[in-house]
A and B are shown apart, each in its own frame.
Chain A
Amino acid sequence: MDGDWDEVARIPFPPPGLRALPTPVTRLAFDVTQELLWTGNEYGRVTSFYGAKLQQYTSFKAHTSQDGGVLQILFNDKGVIVLGARSVHMRTRRGIPLWSIRHDDMKELRCMSFTSKGTSEILVAGEQEKMLVIDTVKGEVTKQVSTEHKYKIMRRSSRNICAATPSGSVHIIDSINFQVLKIWTAHTAAINDMDAQHDFIVTCGYSLRQQGNYMPDPFVNVFDLKNMTSMSPIPFPAGAAYVRMHPRMSTTSIVMSQIGQMHVVDLMNPNTSNVRQANSLSYFSMIEIAPSGEAVALADGDCSIHLWGSPTKIHFTEFMRPVETADTVAAVPRLDFDSWDTPLSSVGMPYYREVLLSAWPGNMITEIGLPPVKIDPQILATLQERDWGFYGKNTRQVRRNQVEDVRGNESPQSTLKHPKFLSERARELAKSPAGTPAPE
């Protein structure tokens, strides 16, 4: 962390409705290709913010409010993958849905991770008996993996998937066949936060004290994935709550306490640390670091998002791909509704090469010139007359706006029986029972 790091922006997290009270952020995630910070709320809504000023970009609901909060967000070239407790959803960054999976075996999902197949496959897991493998290109479940373990956090390291269980241990899972390779007991009661990067796993957790309450452990536990051994913990007297590995400095991590004390520590040399204090009237609930390592986002209990970085050179991604915005519309001649002289064609079509949307299907048969539907005078009598028409309860025995067979009433078949063509007989047979229009 450079010397000039400071809070560069602080925005209130948008509330779920116009007059609703703000709710805390459930998930923060920096985009990997564009200058966007993505957030999730507890009603399944995902909102993205652009740049160092955190201007709101797009916003959409990934799942219904009943399914709870947004649990995790992953990114690939095509878009964002959003995890809810009972569904997985993918959209482009502009908000256009790509796919959405609700599966019977998705009951209590908690976390997900990319697998050995780059960003084209994810493994989703949770506090349930099954893990599911999803192809992110096709948007379908390709495999189900039974597991007796429950997971709440997942991170992909260079070789394996690291998964934290609710009871305080970390499972190192093979990212090809999803077998547990090693179990590391990191904390005695629970793991609060975990990150994995390159060859290290770092965790913050709790232990149970005599009084029966959980206390944040005053250290960060470190595991060396290269040698598959745990390393000596890094002391953090203020109580380590959240931890992130620096994405570009492979042995550096950022540790934060619940009250906002941030330490930048080198895992190999824990005695030299760089200290910052983030200010908030309440506790901090989350920390996330940008893929460039040049920005850190914090969420607090007052529903604010804090963005930290160097005020002069803050950026989120290494190769800043520009964010897509709306095109400026070329000036269109203004037409009033009562300007009869101006033809509609004066607006002009854009250049096109494909079939137009207005192309009406040519194989539809329409019957024209039918006599109007007769209104039953008995029903008319039940209606009250007003100067704009009649009104009352609908007692007609047909559907709303149903197409009625006027011709049938007009010339009753009983009085005039003429021979029918074969095609006519066939058509009568094909006619569905009363109440639904004929298939043609």
Chain B
Amino acid sequence: DDVFVSSTNAYDEAMNHLGRELENGRLVRLLAKLGTINERPEFDGDPNWSETEHRYTLKLFRDYVFHQVDAQGNPVLDLGHIISCLNKLDAGTEEKIYLTSRDHQSTFLVTYRELKKQIHSAFGDLQKGNTKQ
């Protein structure tokens, strides 16, 4: 009887741990995608990434997620913000966010769905390896 209880307990605990770590792999894969596309020197001359073109918002999204600051300009390190942004990006929600360029000159209002589409196509370009045309 005791053996049965403790084995069930062990099973419960294993499930509990599994549930806690379930999301990690997904987040790492998402971060890996973002990491591989952002700031690639091959993209430097690519008009798609210039200020007048559509992939500019991806640069600004990176700043939005990772470079948060408070009213005094001090960095805010909030893992909750980062993960919730990444989760929304992963799912591609219709929520709209403001993205502002570093010089404050450009402001965009973008949905996570639009960003997801952009990243998907940028990553697709990398897979095809045709970024240097």
Contact = CB atoms under 8 A, between A and B. Distances in A.
A347 B93 CA distance: 15
B87 A100 contact: no
A345 B54 CA distance: 32
Interface string A53-69: 00011111111100000
Given A96-B108, A345-B22, A354 B92 contact: yes
Contacts of B89: 357
A97 interface: yes
B52 to A, nearest CB: 5
B70 to A, nearest CB: 13
Nearest to B34: A357
B110 A95 contact: yes
Given A332-B81, A335-B83, A350-B91, A357 B120 contact: yes
Interface string B64-91: 0000000000000111110110011111
B98 interface: yes
Nearest to A334: B80
Contacts of B52: 44, 60-64, 89, 97, 100
Contacts of A57: 107
A327 B98 CA distance: 9
A339 B77 CA distance: 12
A89 B56 CA distance: 15
The bracket for how many chain B residues form the interface is 35 or more
Interface residues of A, number: 51
Nearest to A436: B129
Interface in A120-146: none
A237 interface: no
Given A325-B96, A326-B97, A357-B33, A97 B26 contact: no
Contacts of B22: 345
Nearest to B77: A337
A25 B46 CA distance: 30
A343 B27 CA distance: 12
- Most chain B CB neighbours (cut-off 10 Å) among A14, A57, A332: A332
A94 B113 CA distance: 14
Contact of A336 (B57, B77, B92, B120): B77
Contacts of A64: 50-52
B1 interface: no
A358 B29 contact: yes
A360 B107 contact: no
A97 B54 contact: yes
Contacts of B57: 96
Given A60-B106, A94-B110, A335-B79, A345 B91 contact: no
A61 B77 contact: no
Nearest to A361: B127
Given A96-B57, A326-B96, A352-B92, A347 B83 contact: yes
A351 interface: yes
- Most chain B CB neighbours (cut-off 10 Å) among A64, A97, A325: A97
Nearest to B31: A358
A389 interface: no
Nearest to A353: B91
B91 A352 contact: yes
A16 interface: yes
A212 interface: no
Given A345-B23, A357-B119, A335 B78 contact: yes
B111 to A, nearest CB: 8
B132 to A, nearest CB: 11
Contacts of B32: 360
Contact of B80 (A60, A335, A356, A361): A335
Contacts of B27: 344, 358
B131 to A, nearest CB: 13
A104 interface: no
Contacts of B96: 94, 324-327
B59 interface: no
B5 interface: no
A433 interface: no
A200 B48 CA distance: 43
Contacts of B104: 18
A64 B47 CA distance: 11
Given A18-B103, A351-B91, A336 B114 contact: no
Contacts of A329: 84, 95, 97
Contact of B24 (A14, A56, A59, A344): A344
15 contacts: A62-B52, A64-B51, A89-B52, A95-B107, A96-B110, A325-B109, A332-B81, A336-B79, A339-B79, A344-B83, A345-B20, A345-B21, A347-B80, A350-B88, A356-B90
Interface of B: 19-24, 26-27, 29-30, 32-33, 41, 50-54, 57, 77-81, 83-84, 87-93, 95-98, 103-110, 114, 116, 119-120, 127
What are the 10 A-B residue pairs with the smallest beta carbon separation, nearest first?
A343-B20, A352-B91, A335-B79, A95-B108, A94-B109, A358-B30, A345-B23, A335-B80, A97-B54, A332-B84
